[in-house]
Structure 1
Amino acid sequence: MATFPSITPTYGIQKRSAPSVRKVQFGDGYESRFTMGVNQDPKVYNLTFEVSETDSDTIETFLDARAADFASFDFTPPGEGSSSKFVCETWSKSIPYLNRARIQATFREVFEP
């Protein structure tokens, strides 16, 4: 299992939760809610890395390698105590200044052995 390079994203991280809940509505207005399975609350992180060109190349090479076979990787989100498995389906790179780059990426938590 690959581990994301030890490059820290900038502040302003967005963390999204979307618990998987099934609903059944009955004709009399009542509603029943339940979950199925164990991992019902995957997290999605929108991250921005404002780094040197060298670090941006490292990040981009890492993400390109995972995209080739859509493999997951270990990543420890800022402020969290342990790593989880993630995939990155989309990212973009801009170069606002000489020798500086900004990578914006979306990491989606996955549950696998």
Structure 2
Amino acid sequence: MATFPNIKPAYTASKASNPKVRTAKLGDGYEQRVVFGLPGRNNPKEYSLTFKVKDADAATIETFLDARAADAASFDFTPPGASTSAKFVCASWNRTFVGTNWNEITATFRQVFEP
């Protein structure tokens, strides 16, 4: 299992939650909800991250993400504010060349649950 390089994102990171809840709307206006999935695995997180880094770190991040895209594998990543790592995938990212030896990479890491 690959681990994301030890490069920290900028403080502008955001986290979204997507709880898996099934809803049934009843004819009398009532609504019934049930949590779908295994406990602890039914609320995956999605992080929108920005890395403001020099050329070498940008190349490291991009090479790592390219390799994960090539083998469709997840990777371990410790999100901002978390003390433990989790498994994530990154379907797309963008690298902007800001200036001489300065880059900005934006990426969305989506949490996955695997053995």
Same fold (TM over 0.5): yes
Partner AA of 1:108 in structure 2:
R
The aligned counterpart of 1:76 is 78
CA drift of 1:2 comes to 0.2
Asked whether 1:43 is paired with 2:59, we answer no
Distance 1:96 1:106 in 2: 20
CA drift of 1:37 comes to 1.5
TM-score by length of 1: 0.98
Distance 1:104 1:37 in 2: 30
TM-score by length of 2: 0.96
Partner AA of 2:14 in structure 1:
Q
The aligned counterpart of 1:15 is 15
The aligned counterpart of 1:34 is 34
Which ranges in structure 1 are unaligned for 5 or more consecutive residues? none
Partner AA of 1:51 in structure 2:
V
Q: Which runs of 4+ in 1 moved over 3 A?
A: none
Which ranges in structure 2 are unaligned for 5 or more consecutive residues? none
Which string of whole-angstrom CA distances, capped at 9 and with x for unpartnered residues, describes residues 8-47 of structure 1? Answer: 0011111001111100011111110001221110000000
Aligned-residue sequence identity (percent) comes to 58
Distance 1:66 1:101 in 2: 21
Partner AA of 1:34 in structure 2:
V
Distance 2:37 2:46 in 1: 19
